């Protein structure tokens, strides 16, 4: 039975990844300090003999006895609210946390997969964004703490690959949504769903013409698992290239929920990307992966979760 370590395993993506790996026959060790993670996301795994949760800050030395075959480094605040409130922790987990997790991979001879982000492209001047694009990032802006933490994490991962010959992989994750997202997440899907269910004004930044591309969580994890088992090292974009404006998203959610909400336009935050769409040519050709869940289906599944979370 392969042994997989998931850092940030009690978070939105991390907890779904734990489920995915257990379903694929892995033994899973979940590490999380619960700064933004939540034990509620993994409580259904309590008592599963193949699952173990350890509360641990991965910026500190990681000791695990026994064999480890895969390390999925997903630990990090990942929403604008989180990394603006936790800027130093965000930088530390991208730098020190990545270093510690890579050290474990080196010691165990494990495959290491870094969860990077489309934010490495910043406010892009190339559209859609291919992996060859180096990005347009403001390193001293408020979003820089997340963007640069992930860019440093990628550089550290490549250094371990080149110098220590660790089998590393980098996935650049584009906007992903699904059950277990936090209500107060700050990203568009949970914010709009929560506001619509409460019949509150939906907060649209700028004029709402900025675009995003939304990938359902099961599609994302299918791509990540294919990358982990492949001979590819990446970076590889995993996301859904179906693009829509933020205003279109808000209007769709109002219609879907039957909400009385109206749109409220607020100033655009500093360095907010104007466009975001993955070029998934590499994922298609190298991994044989592309998204399968239509937005209409995925958002309904997500709405079911938010109805329980928001309305009880």
Instruction: Give the alpha-carbon dihedral of 37, 40, 45, 50, to 10 degrees.
Output: 20
Helices in the chain by DSSP H: which ranges? 12-23, 80-85, 87-92, 98-108, 144-164, 188-197, 217-229, 246-257, 281-282, 295-306
DSSP letter for 209, please. Answer: -
Question: Is the bond preceding residue 235 a cis peptide, omega within 30 degrees?
Answer: yes
Instruction: State yes or no: is 63 an active-site residue.
Output: no
Burial of 10 (0-12, 13-18, 19+ CB in 10 A): buried
Query: Rounded distance, CA 157 to CA 153, Å?
Result: 6
Catalytic residue among 146, 177, 216, 225: 146
Q: Is 199 left (phi over 0), alpha (psi -120 to 50) or beta?
A: left
CA nearest neighbour of 25 among 69, 56, 66, 59: 69
CB-CB contact of 41 with 13 (8 Å):
no
Residues in the chain: 312
CB-CB contact of 212 with 243 (8 Å):
yes
Buried-exposed string 185-210: b where 16+ CB fall within 10 A, e elsewhere: bbbbbbbbbbbbbeeeebebeeebeb
The residues that are catalytic are: 146
């Amino acid at each position: 039975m392969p042994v997989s370590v998931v850092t940030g395993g009690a978070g939105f993506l991390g907890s779904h990844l734990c489920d995915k790996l257990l379903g694929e026959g892995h033994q899973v060790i979940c590490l999380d300090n619960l700064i933004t993670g939540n034990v509620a996301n993994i409580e259904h795994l309590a008592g599963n003999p193949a699952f173990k949760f350890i509360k641990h800050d991965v910026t500190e030395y990681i000791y695990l006895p026994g064999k480890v075959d895969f390390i999925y480094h997903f630990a990090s605040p990942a929403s604008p609210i989180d990394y603006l409130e936790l800027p130093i922790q965000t930088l530390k987990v991208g730098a020190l946390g990545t270093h510690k997790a890579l050290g474990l991979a080196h010691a165990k001879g494990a495959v290491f997969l870094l969860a990077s982000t489309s934010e490495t492209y910043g406010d892009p001047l190339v559209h859609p964004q291919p992996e060859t694009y180096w990005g347009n990032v403001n390193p001293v802006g408020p979003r820089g703490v997340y963007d640069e933490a992930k860019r440093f994490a990628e550089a550290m991962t490549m250094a371990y690959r080149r110098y220590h010959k660790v089998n590393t992989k980098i996935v650049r994750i584009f906007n992903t949504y699904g059950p277990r997202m936090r209500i107060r997440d700050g990203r568009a899907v949970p914010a709009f769903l929560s506001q619509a269910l409460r019949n509150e004004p939906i907060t649209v930044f700028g004029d709402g013409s900025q675009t995003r591309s939304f990938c359902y969580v099961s599609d994302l994890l299918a791509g990540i698992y294919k990358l982990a088992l492949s001979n590819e090292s990446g970076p590889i974009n995993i996301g859904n290239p179906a693009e829509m404006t933020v205003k279109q998203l808000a209007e769709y959610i109002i219609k879907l929920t039957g909400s009385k909400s109206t749109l409220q336009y607020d100033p655009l935050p500093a360095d907010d990307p104007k466009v975001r769409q993955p070029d998934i040519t590499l994922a298609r050709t190298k991994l044989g992966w592309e998204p399968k869940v239509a937005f209409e289906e995925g958002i309904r599944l997500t709405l079911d979760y938010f109805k329980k979370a928001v309305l009880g």
